[in-house]
Structure 1
């Protein structure tokens, strides 16, 4: 049995999903969520001590947090005595962590499910990694051009998370707020399409305004952020769910989660045809008018929409769960 230390962000519990898939094929897995704030006190401390100084141009809080996270991750490596260490992203960790990895003698894999351009990963660290996988085909190509061992591993859906569909008559979006997403949702709302955006960037709740250091919100119906089981239920019961990419060449988790939950996915990427069949398993839109038309048809013809969603779910369960990605990880760390 291989002892795997999985060092991953706490973000939406994806580390738990990866750990579960590794365990299902027989690995002994230790999960270290390196940036987890497990108590209210720790969350408040992160805001006041680590994030607040950056609002005034100081990096003191950011650097202090990096030192803390790095020390915890180093301790996890030393205590875990792993055969393999899989680091997911890892750009919040300092040089001491990577040195501890190299000194451990464990096989290593760096898994990136974000573009390098969006990360703060030291180039010397990147160049010294023995094996890297990324969801970004462009990053994989660039890394290979540099002579690094790099492979392409898609994001995935966790089919083991239980959820209850929440039937509704809205088109939903769950995720961060970016200008293109705001434009699309405003456009739908202005055209009379019932929509709702979920997430702290959209929510008008005073706690979310404080958490995001921002008071203004776009004129889009919104709600607070939700955990993954709730998100899966909302998308499963919605008329349709929007998946909008922002300067991304990789396909996000939502690409697989939406059809995986049985939702009708509306996606802005025609190249999704390498994964799903547009028109039969997902719907691709080109602009806000096209998107509005698809939304209205989905509302008017639920049988049509449900048939597409069910075919998308079948394809996801057959090809795009985390279990399907594990053999690629095992090959990459070998």
Structure 2
């Protein structure tokens, strides 16, 4: 595809905008980035924190207008040929009207389910073409006559992975009751397991900000930058990927395999992207998970074979570069 000037409009969300920008630039495009929910001075950072702790559907209209005005200013300054929007349901009608008036090609990439966002049917039609990580949403949008394609999330292969030794089976993610109960079962079965994240952390600052005053009763660590999280997954005997009520597969699915970790998931439908048993592992019960973890701790040759195969598949099919190629087809 001929290189174009792109305005990438994205939430800050763990810096994935940087992975997308890098992938776009690798394909020859000139990229300007606008993070529409980036915080500024202290009062804005505090407001931003409160904003993100509210369910997205409940965020005030006044906030939406501020985010929209900032995005419009970025649009005016960049004068792009194409707009790549990530999520973007916090942007109001003025944003979509500006894109329509200027006839700017666009594509919107959704990494969350529509039921958790505040898009109206009219906005979804303006946002299209849509790339969604959710197969169910993709089917629903297509049935409504909206151009949509299932585009999974990806691995950011531009991040250097530090060498980190982790002797526990690792889990990195939010603390939910179902996850906590499962990790407790592992620990009770003498499987060394450690959970990372601010809702697990016992650091006083994290306890105060998350109001998680009770301990999970297992070893825990604080929230980490992505590079460090990559290193922990890679350096663990195995790393767990435990989903909640998501329809799509989280970024972790591709990151764990991409860094060469031995990934154990709770979803058999991952077989649409990886060979189960050869590239990733899947469990259906706590007892099966215990057995897989024990083997991971004891059988290094078996684990290494799966690690290498999962990493190879990821680098061949599941990087941000691969996803950008699909987005190009949609905006083209």
Q: Deviations over 1:256-292 (max 9, x none)?
A: 1001001000011111112111111111110111111
User: Which residue pairs with 2:209 in the alignment?
Assistant: 211
User: Which residue pairs with 1:303 in the alignment?
Assistant: 301
Give me the whole-angstrom Cα distance separating, in 1, the residues matched to 2:42 and 2:191. Answer: 37
User: Which residue pairs with 1:185 in the alignment?
Assistant: 183
Q: Tell me the SS of whatever aligns to 1:128.
A: helix
User: Which residue pairs with 2:166 in the alignment?
Assistant: 168
User: Which residue pairs with 1:137 in the alignment?
Assistant: 135
Give me the whole-angstrom Cα distance separating, in 2, the residues matched to 1:4 and 1:217. Answer: 46
By how many angstroms is 1:120 displaced?
Answer: 2.3
Q: Which stretch shows the higher mean deviation, 93-102 or 130-139?
A: 93-102
User: Which residue pairs with 2:148 in the alignment?
Assistant: 150
Classify 1:38/1:309 alpha carbon distance in 2 versus 1 (closer, same or farther; 3 Å): farther
Q: Deviations over 1:107-166 (max 9, x none)?
A: 011111111122222332113333111011111000000011001111110111101121
Classify 1:143/1:270 alpha carbon distance in 2 versus 1 (closer, same or farther; 3 Å): same
2:11 maps to which of 9, 12, 23: 9
User: Which residue pairs with 1:290 in the alignment?
Assistant: 288
User: Which residue pairs with 2:28 in the alignment?
Assistant: 26
Give me the whole-angstrom Cα distance separating, in 1, the residues matched to 2:128 and 2:118. Answer: 19
Q: Does 1:229 align with 2:231?
A: no
Give me the whole-angstrom Cα distance separating, in 2, the residues matched to 1:117 and 1:37. Answer: 26
User: Which residue pairs with 1:323 in the alignment?
Assistant: 321
User: Which residue pairs with 1:119 in the alignment?
Assistant: 117
Q: Deviations over 1:2-41 (max 9, x none)?
A: 0111111111111110111011011111111111236666
Q: Tell me the SS of whatever aligns to 1:109.
A: strand
Work out whether residues 236 and 262 of structure 1, in 8 Å CA contact, stay in contact via their aligned partners in 2: yes
Q: Deviations over 1:23-68 (max 9, x none)?
A: 10111111111112366664334346x478x69xxx6x74443332
Classify 1:39/1:195 alpha carbon distance in 2 versus 1 (closer, same or farther; 3 Å): farther
Which stretches in structure 2 are left out of the alignment for 5+ residues?
Answer: none
RMSD: 2.0
Q: Tell me the SS of whatever aligns to 1:315.
A: helix
When the two structures are aligned, how many residues end up with a matched partner? 328
Classify 1:39/1:209 alpha carbon distance in 2 versus 1 (closer, same or farther; 3 Å): farther
Work out whether residues 10 and 36 of structure 2, in 8 Å CA contact, stay in contact via their aligned partners in 1: yes
Work out whether residues 157 and 321 of structure 1, in 8 Å CA contact, stay in contact via their aligned partners in 2: yes
Work out whether residues 96 and 126 of structure 2, in 8 Å CA contact, stay in contact via their aligned partners in 1: no
- Normalised to the residue count of structure 2, the TM-score between the two structures is 0.92
By how many angstroms is 1:311 displaced?
Answer: 1.1
Work out whether residues 133 and 150 of structure 1, in 8 Å CA contact, stay in contact via their aligned partners in 2: yes
Q: Which stretch shows the higher mean deviation, 201-210 or 309-318?
A: 201-210
- Normalised to the residue count of structure 1, the TM-score between the two structures is 0.92
Which stretches in structure 1 are left out of the alignment for 5+ residues?
Answer: none
Give me the whole-angstrom Cα distance separating, in 2, the residues matched to 1:129 and 1:8. Answer: 14
User: Which residue pairs with 1:76 in the alignment?
Assistant: 74
Give me the whole-angstrom Cα distance separating, in 1, the residues matched to 2:228 and 2:144. Answer: 42
